[in-house]
Amino acid sequence: MRPARHRVHRTIAYAWVAPVTLAGLVLAGLALACGARARWVEGQLEVAGAHRLRGFGRWPPVRDFVAITLGHVILGRDHATLARWRRHEQAHVRQYERWGLLFWPLYLGASGWTWLRGREPYRDNPFEIEARRAEAE
């Protein structure tokens, strides 16, 4: 059994991120309605394989998309891809837990600042660098 302090910390972390997780749950529901499957992995809901959406052209429409994290919901192309990128996406979950609703403005601001400095807005974003470090561990 985990100590009460840990349970309180986890409850606060889930509550702090709940508005973003709710948005992720809405998208997860749409994906599930389109044939995706859900799994509960390491405290997060992973949803992947919305094969019915592929009839609308390339889905998702972003060229290099493999996964996206919205709070405690991780959406991906398929479950094998999510397994491959799990540490990276889990790092984003921890970032959400650290920053809450501020995560997206901070992430977008970091991308903008990176772009203004002549760097690649995704690859050189400090949040992505942190996630790649976690991925390598």
Q: Residue range 1-7: average pLDDT?
A: 76
Q: State the pLDDT confidence band at 45, using cuts at 50, 70 and 90.
A: very high
Using one digit for the tens of pLDDT, what is the confidence trace for 105-122? 999 999 999 999 999 999
The pLDDT assigned to 119 comes to 97
Query: Number of folded domains in the chain?
Result: 1
d(C-alpha 33, C-alpha 76), whole Å: 15
Across 31-35, 71-75, 83-87, 124-128, least confident range? 31-35
The pLDDT assigned to 56 comes to 44
CA atoms within 13 A on the CB side of 65: 15
Domain that holds residue 82: 4-136
The pLDDT assigned to 57 comes to 45
* pTM listed for this prediction: 0.86
Average pLDDT of every residue of the chain: 89
Using one digit for the tens of pLDDT, what is the confidence trace for 8-20? 988 998 999 999 9
